[in-house]
Amino acid sequence: MAATTAYKVGKLIDGNGGPVIDNTVIVVEDKHIKEVGAASDIRIPEGATLVEEPGLTAMPGMMDLHIHLCMFNNLTFKNYRVAQWEVTPELQQMYMLFHAQLCLERGFTTLRDLGIMSTRGLMTDQAVAVRDAIDNGILGGPRLICGAFTVGTGSHLDLIMPRASLRNPEATADGPDEMRKLARKNLLKGADWLKTCASGGGGTDREAPDVRNHTQEELDAVCDEAHAQHHFCSIHCFTPDAHRMAIKAGADTIEHMVFHDEDSIARIVEAQIPVTPTLLHRTDHAIEIRREIGTPNFTLEKMKTIQPNCFNTFQVMHKAGVKIAMGTDMGFEPDMGSNASELAIYVDLGMTPMEAIVTATKNAAEALHRQEELGTLEKGKLADIVLVDGNPAEDIKVLEPRENIKMVVKEGKRFVDRREGEDVRVIPHEYGSWRIADA
Ligand SMILES: [Zn+2]
């Protein structure tokens, strides 16, 4: 018999951007939402488990579309240059799962991981294995969409590793044919998305953000190969020229933006390509964390210089009607699991709290081409539900403290329950109880 649960809550945010609805019932049968509506209209099926929380708000599981779960982290390593040499892909793969769980326990049920490489090579295999272990139900975690680096020698994403480090020649490709081959290899390994870069970037040493990374032909080859195999391609872009190249190549999402001109904004609006702003790691706080873990001065200065452009471009995009899908670019900083703080920045920069919520729900699902099953709390969709203490449509910051996220349900299954008398966790130990590896 199908397991049925009825969530009877004080408020509902369905993810579509409309007004908050009072006194609602969501009926979940196995993995899917069977019914949603006013408590007065819905008959709770006999034998259903009742979760009755008049003081809580139900909302869709949130999504972060730009994260690097396999990146060296400052939760247990306080010196990232040391970590880059001392952490094997095998250990980092375990961190990847842990990072993903830290996001799930804060209400993020879907993460698009945008890849990483190590001195041993791309970490596509590791990421795909974590995704599949979660999908198969042998490990608890969020739904992962795996994006794999498909980039050239010395490109921005190659420079995430120190310039002096040995490199696996298999990790990068040059020229359209080689790029196509690397794309095919990544897709063969099971990647869902490809990730490439059209310009330089922020967090890398001795690299100007406005250099060109690939030729148009190379970008075209990567996007074409993704599309030919019914997959998608996201392109890291910092400059208007990079935006134009990405649009021409047929990018499915544009990452960061940073700089813009009138023409690049108009083209993005016209092409209806979702943009992932990644502002959380642009804040003073994030730059300070980078300083503490030993990031070179060149990079810190660059991060400070581009900060106002990132915030200003976001405001221009929002006013122009660019479809914004939430993404943090979390890797080094600020803190795995603090994804919702990205939404508070959007609100500070002019979005309403509801508009910000939509970037992490409906818009994110549409950017992933998964809107048929994800993103909103509607009949027939997968039951990814978060119960929050407070009303995020009034105060977006209620999504930030861990203790406000009372329950996290993914595909009908309860992974977190912090309500009184309940203790369901995806991470078995207390937050922060781990050893600092290089202290
Ligand atoms: Zn990134």
- Give me the DSSP letters along 199-244: B--SSSTT--TTSB-S-HHHHHHHHHHHHHTT-EEEEEE-SHHHHH
Say yes or no to pLDDT of 347 above 90.
yes
Question: Can you say whether residue 376 is alpha, beta or left, with left for phi > 0 and alpha for psi between -120 and 50 degrees?
Answer: beta
Average model confidence (pLDDT) for the chain? Answer: 95
197-220 pLDDT, tens per residue?
999 999 888 899 999 999 999 999
Note the pTM of the prediction, 2 decimals: 0.97
Confidence class for position 332, pLDDT limits 50, 70, 90: confident
Instruction: Give the Å distance between the CA of 66 and the centre of ligand 1.
Output: 6
Say yes or no to pLDDT of 4 above 90.
yes
Q: What pLDDT does residue 251 have? A: 98
Higher pLDDT, 320 or 161: 320
The percent of residues in the chain predicted with pLDDT above 70, rounded, is: 100
Average pLDDT over every residue of 88-108? 95
Domains located in the chain, CATH noted: 4-60+373-417 (2.30.40.10), 62-339 (3.20.20.140)
Instruction: Give the Å distance between the CA of 5 and the centre of ligand 1.
Output: 38
Instruction: Give the Å distance between the CA of 220 and the centre of ligand 1.
Output: 20
> Worst-scoring range by mean pLDDT, 143-152, 173-182, 324-333, 396-405?
324-333
Say yes or no to pLDDT of 134 above 80.
yes
Instruction: Give the Å distance between the CA of 427 and the centre of ligand 1.
Output: 25
**Is residue 233 within 8 Å of 222, Cβ to Cβ?**
yes
Say yes or no to pLDDT of 5 above 90.
yes
Cα 222 to Cα 152: distance, rounded to the nearest angstrom: 11
Q: What pLDDT does residue 280 have? A: 96
Residues lining ion ligand 1 (Cβ < 5 A) are: 329
Instruction: Give the Å distance between the CA of 130 and the centre of ligand 1.
Output: 19
Say yes or no to pLDDT of 73 above 90.
no
Q: What pLDDT does residue 136 have? A: 97
Q: Under 8 Å CB-to-CB from 60, ≥6 apart: which residues?
A: 13, 14, 15, 361, 374, 375, 376, 377, 384, 385, 386
Prior bond of 334 cis (ω within 30°): yes
286-329 pLDDT, tens per residue?
999 999 988 989 999 999 999 999 999 999 999 999 999 999 99
Residue at token pair 């050239």: 152
Instruction: Give the Å distance between the CA of 202 and the centre of ligand 1.
Output: 10
**Of 389, 368, 420, the residue nearest 56 (C-alpha):** 389
Average pLDDT over every residue of 247-263? 97
Query: What's the one-letter identity of residue 406?
Result: K
Cα 82 to Cα 74: distance, rounded to the nearest angstrom: 11
27-63 pLDDT, tens per residue?
999 999 999 999 999 999 999 999 999 999 999 999 9
Average pLDDT over every residue of 2-20? 96
In 119-197, the DSSP E strands lie at 121-122, 143-149, 193-197
Q: What pLDDT does residue 119 have? A: 87
Instruction: Give the Å distance between the CA of 25 and the centre of ligand 1.
Output: 38
- What's the token pair of residue 191? 């990647």
Say yes or no to pLDDT of 82 above 80.
no
Q: What pLDDT does residue 1 have? A: 59
The percent of residues in the chain predicted with pLDDT above 90, rounded, is: 88
Instruction: Give the Å distance between the CA of 65 and the centre of ligand 1.
Output: 10
Instruction: Give the Å distance between the CA of 257 and the centre of ligand 1.
Output: 12
> Worst-scoring range by mean pLDDT, 118-122, 125-129, 253-257?
118-122
Residue at token pair 């966790």: 425
Task: For residue 205, report the phi and psi dihedrals to the nearest 5 degrees.
Answer: -80, 140
Q: What pLDDT does residue 436 have? A: 86
Instruction: Give the Å distance between the CA of 267 and the centre of ligand 1.
Output: 23
Confidence class for position 428, pLDDT limits 50, 70, 90: confident
Q: How far is CA 352 from the centre of its chain?
A: 21
Q: What pLDDT does residue 86 have? A: 78
Instruction: Give the Å distance between the CA of 67 and the centre of ligand 1.
Output: 6
DSSP 3-state of 24: strand
Question: Can you say whether residue 102 is alpha, beta or left, with left for phi > 0 and alpha for psi between -120 and 50 degrees?
Answer: alpha
